[in-house]
């Protein structure tokens, strides 16, 4: 990893120290203080720690735990008690990426993603109420449901990092995301208009999509989104919104001068609102490193 500024190092260390403290017996991480293993928190912890330069040997137990909970169909579920909750699968792919001992697990997970997706159908007469194209298939949070923006973006990042940059499913995901862009330039969970009511963008979703579309579309396609995030990023001090906004800007070569100060302010708010989720701390850590380390699998490996 390229050396960070002193300010960035201080902020990054605060995030990583807490993430390291979330390790649980048997491998993996909890979502919060005193919690049990959670696959999404584990994957995000691995992604952030790897980007920071943590040795593969130190991350082996967490990756191994993810492999142990992988289902027979290749998916990784948030809990074995809820079979349809397959949305952590792309996170596991990113956590395993590039590690030979977990190549088989990663391959099974990517094959699952390539073969699966959200529900899609032809247009109907009653579709006049909404503006999105229901024929475009992305990915869903839960099996048997419609395609939504966030799981589609995560699946695209995982598949691109795993070498499937030009796969038809990824190209369709690009088309689906562009179809869901709202008028002000960003994205929300998945709708652009309902009847005559325009849907508004969400900062965290917009930043995520900006990362997912890096190298898939030309810069001018993202101009409206970049302008939108530039305008709103300084207003946010919640980890989800701030982290993804900064990562989204970084994906397109943008770095606000105040970024590290904003992240520090965000971390300080834990004294009032309580400890942040491991996932959120990982996002803030990645935002600290975005311009120096290429943020490991999130920004690199797309054209293998």
- Alpha carbon 20 to its chain's center: 20
pLDDT of residue 140: 95
User: Alpha-carbon distance 292 to 51, whole Å?
Assistant: 10
pLDDT of residue 189: 85
Q: Which letter does DSSP use for residue 198 in this model?
A: E
Q: Which of 49, 21, 20, 25 is nearest to 36 (CA)?
A: 25
Q: Where are the domains of the chain?
A: 6-298
pLDDT of residue 291: 73
Q: Which of 143, 144, 145, 170 is nearest to 78 (CA)?
A: 143
Model confidence over 90-107: pLDDT tens digits?
A: 999 999 999 999 999 999
Type and span of the H or E element at 194 = strand 193-194
* Residues 38/78, Cβ–Cβ less than 8 Å: yes
pLDDT of residue 267: 97
- Tokens linked to 214: 């890096």
Question: Coil, strand, or helix at residue 146?
Answer: strand
Where helices occur in 69-102 by DSSP H, the ranges are 89-96
Cα R_g (the chain), whole angstroms: 18
pLDDT of residue 302: 36
pLDDT of residue 124: 57
Dihedral class, residue 145 (left if φ above 0, else alpha if ψ from -120 to 50, else beta): beta
Exposed, middle or buried: residue 247 (CB in 10 Å: 0-12, 13-18, 19+)? buried
Model confidence over 66-93: pLDDT tens digits?
A: 999 999 999 999 998 998 999 999 999 9
**Interior/surface letters 48-74, b for 16+ CB within 10 angstroms, e for the rest:** bbbbbebeeeebebbbebbbebbeebb
**Model pTM?**
0.93
User: Alpha-carbon distance 298 to 285, whole Å?
Assistant: 13
* pLDDT tens by residue, the chain, 304 residues: 557 888 889 999 999 999 999 999 999 999 999 999 999 999 999 999 999 999 999 999 999 999 999 999 999 999 989 989 999 999 999 999 999 999 999 999 999 999 999 987 665 555 555 567 888 999 999 999 989 999 999 999 999 999 999 999 999 999 999 999 998 899 998 776 555 567 789 999 999 999 999 999 999 999 999 999 999 999 999 999 999 999 999 999 999 999 999 999 999 999 999 999 999 999 999 999 987 655 555 665 433 3
- The CA-based dihedral angle spanning residues 184, 186, 190, 194, taken in that order and rounded to the nearest 10 degrees: 0
User: Alpha-carbon distance 16 to 172, whole Å?
Assistant: 36
Domain 6-298: which topology? Glycosyltransferase (1.50.10)
User: Alpha-carbon distance 34 to 47, whole Å?
Assistant: 21
Count CB-CB contacts under 10 A for residue 85.
19
User: Alpha-carbon distance 252 to 229, whole Å?
Assistant: 11
């Amino acid at each position: 990893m390229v050396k960070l500024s002193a300010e960035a190092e201080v902020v990054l260390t605060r995030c990583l120290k807490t993430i390291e403290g979330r390790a649980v017996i048997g491998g993996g991480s909890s979502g919060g203080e005193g919690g049990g293993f959670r696959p999404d928190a584990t994957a995000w912890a691995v992604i952030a720690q790897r980007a920071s330069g943590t040795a593969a040997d130190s991350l082996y137990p967490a990756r191994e735990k993810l492999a142990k909970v992988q289902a027979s169909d290749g998916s990784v579920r948030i809990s074995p008690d809820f079979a349809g909750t397959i949305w952590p699968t792309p996170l596991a792919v990113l956590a395993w990426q590039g590690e030979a001992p977990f190549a088989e697990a990663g391959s099974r997970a990517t094959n699952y993603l390539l073969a699966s997706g959200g529900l899609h159908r032809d247009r109907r007469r009653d579709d006049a109420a909404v503006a999105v194209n229901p024929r475009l298939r992305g990915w869903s949070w839960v099996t048997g449901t419609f395609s939504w923006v966030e799981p589609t973006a995560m699946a695209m990042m995982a598949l691109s990092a795993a070498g499937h940059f030009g796969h038809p499913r990824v190209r369709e995901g690009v088309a689906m995301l562009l179809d869901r862009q709202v008028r002000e330039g960003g994205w929300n969970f998945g709708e652009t208009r309902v009847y005559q009511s325009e849907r508004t963008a969400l900062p965290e979703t917009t930043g995520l999509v900006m990362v997912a579309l890096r190298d898939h579309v030309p810069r001018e396609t993202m101009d409206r989104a970049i302008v939108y995030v530039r305008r709103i990023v300084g207003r946010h001090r919640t980890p989800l919104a701030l982290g993804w906004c900064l990562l989204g800007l970084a994906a397109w070569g943008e770095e606000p001068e105040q970024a590290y100060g904003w992240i520090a302010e965000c971390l300080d708010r834990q004294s009032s609102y309580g400890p942040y989720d491991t996932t959120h701390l990982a996002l803030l850590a990645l935002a600290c490193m975005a311009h120096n380390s290429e943020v490991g699998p999130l920004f690199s490996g797309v054209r293998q």
